[in-house]
Amino acid sequence: MAIHVNTTHFTEKPDCTGRLEKERRVYDLLDQLHIAYEGVDHDTADTIEDCAAVEDELGVKICKNLFLRNRQKTTFFLLLMPGDKKFLTKDLSAQLGISRLSFAEPEFMEQYLDITPGSVSVLGLMNDKDWDVSLLIDEDLLKDEYIGCHPCINSSTLKIRMNDIMNKFLKHTGHRPTLVRL
């Protein structure tokens, strides 16, 4: 079932009446860092499949974001990868030298990134002040000029230059990505 996507785009902080504080903080930080964005509001998009209509509206591929952990629940990873790529846990585990990776539980998403399932995004790293989450980026994602991601809530999506994420946003948060090949 296709989700409804608002055809009105915004390129500056939208009216934040009724928006969550964590979403408002994303727009404030992007403005502070002089990062241009184009966004749309839409029905809740919980899966990459839900985002097909958003991709069409914004003209950008939506990034698949996976929040992972080791077996002991002591090491956490945010994996960014092309939305159309299949994720195989064993391939990534082998690259990282970790015996078994699992999807992290919602409480860890909220604790470290202030996000909930379906809203995972690179922009959540702004809330990881102690660098508890390691960022992993599939190298194929870097071939795209833009990245499509949620502003910490899955009822809006932003189109942002990959270069701005890598050189402005991540520089600000202090997260250094590890490139992986999936």
* Mean model confidence pLDDT for the chain: 94
What does the pLDDT look like over 46-95, one tens digit per residue?
777 788 889 999 999 889 999 999 999 999 999 999 988 999 899 999 99
Cβ contact 168:33 at 8 Å = yes
- The model's pTM is 0.94
Phi, psi for residue 36 in degrees, rounded to 5: -75, 145
Between strands 63-70 and 101-103, the pairing is: antiparallel
Question: pLDDT value at position 99?
Answer: 84
Residue identified by tokens 């097909």 is 52
pLDDT of residue 134: 97
pLDDT under 70: residue ranges of the chain: 1
Q: Give the CA distances from residue 53 to residues 3, 37, 42, 112, 118, in Å, rounded to whole numbers and listed in that order.
A: 7, 18, 9, 29, 16
How far is 69 from 125, CA to CA, in rounded Å? 16
pLDDT at residue number 52:
86
